[in-house]
Amino acid sequence: MADVEQNAAVPDGSSNESDAVNGTVGRFVSSAEGTALAYGSLLLMALLPIFFGALRSVGCSKNKVTDSCIYLIIITINASDMPETITSRDAARFPIIASCTLFGLYLFFKIFSQEYINLLLSMYFFVLGILALSHTMSPFMCRVFPANVPNKQYQLLFTQGSGESKEEIVNYEFDTKDLICLGISSVVGVWYVLKKHWIANNLFGLAFALNGVELLHLNNVSTGCILLGGLFVYDVFWVFGTNVMVTVAKSFEAPIKLVFPQDLLEKGLDASNFAMLGLGDIVIPGIFIALLLRFDVSLKKNTRTYFYTSFLAYIFGLGLTIFVMHTFKHAQPALLYLVPACIGFPVLLALFKGELTEMFSELLLT
pLDDT digits (tens, 9 = 90+) for 339-352: 999 999 999 999 99
Residue 149 lies in a domain: no
Comparing 55-64, 69-78, 242-251, 317-326, the range with the smallest average pLDDT is 69-78
Exposure b/e, 222-233, CB count within 10 A at least 16 = b: bbbbbbbbbbbe
* pLDDT level of residue 18 (50, 70, 90 thresholds): very low
pLDDT of residue 271: 85
List the single range of 62-71, 191-200, 334-343 with lowest mean pLDDT.
Answer: 62-71
Q: What local confidence, expressed as pLDDT, does residue 26 receive?
A: 45
Give me the domain span that covers residue 104: 32-71+85-141+178-361
- 84-92 average pLDDT score: 88
Q: What is the pLDDT of residues 178-224, one digit of tens each?
A: 999 999 999 999 999 998 899 999 999 999 999 999 999 998 999 99
Q: What is the pLDDT of residues 224-269, one digit of tens each?
A: 999 999 999 999 999 888 889 888 877 888 898 999 999 898 888 8
Q: How many domains does the chain have?
A: 1
Q: Answer yes or no: is 10 within a domain.
A: no
- pLDDT-derived band of residue 366, with 50, 70 and 90 as boundaries? low
- Distance from C-alpha of 68 to C-alpha of 135, rounded to nearest angstrom: 9
Catalytic residue among 235, 263, 270, 296: 235
Percent of the chain whose pLDDT exceeds 90 = 46
Q: Quick one: pLDDT at residue 151? A: 87
Q: How far is CA 291 from CA 23, 57, 278, in A?
A: 42, 9, 21
Mean pLDDT of 57-71: 48
Residue 345 lies in a domain: yes
In a domain, 101, yes or no: yes
64 band by pLDDT with thresholds 50, 70 and 90 = very low
pLDDT tier for residue 75 given thresholds of 50, 70 and 90: very low
The share of the chain scoring above pLDDT 70, in percent, equals: 84
The reply to whether 165 falls in a domain is no
| 163 assigned to some structural domain | no
Asked if pLDDT for residue 99 goes beyond 90, the answer is: yes
Tens of pLDDT along 297-330? 988 888 899 999 999 999 999 999 999 988 888 8
Question: Has residue 39 got a pLDDT over 50?
Answer: yes
Contacts (Cβ under 8 Å, ≥6 apart) of 135: 65, 66, 68, 181, 207, 211
Query: What integer is the mean pLDDT of 3-19?
Result: 40
The pLDDT mean for the chain works out to 83
**Active-site residue, selected from the candidate residues 67, 263, 281, 296:** 281
How crowded is the C-beta side of 175, counted as CA atoms within 13 Å?
Answer: 12
The answer to whether 281 is a known catalytic residue is: yes
The pLDDT of residue 1: 37
pLDDT computed for residue 362 by the predictor = 67
Q: Confirm whether 89 is domain-assigned.
A: yes
d(C-alpha 276, C-alpha 43), whole Å: 10
DSSP string for residues in 84-103: EEEPHHHHHHHHHHHHHHHH
Any domain includes 47: yes
Active site residue 235: yes
Q: Which pairing describes strands 274-278 and 167-175: parallel, antiparallel, or unpaired?
A: unpaired
Q: What is the pLDDT of residue 158?
A: 85
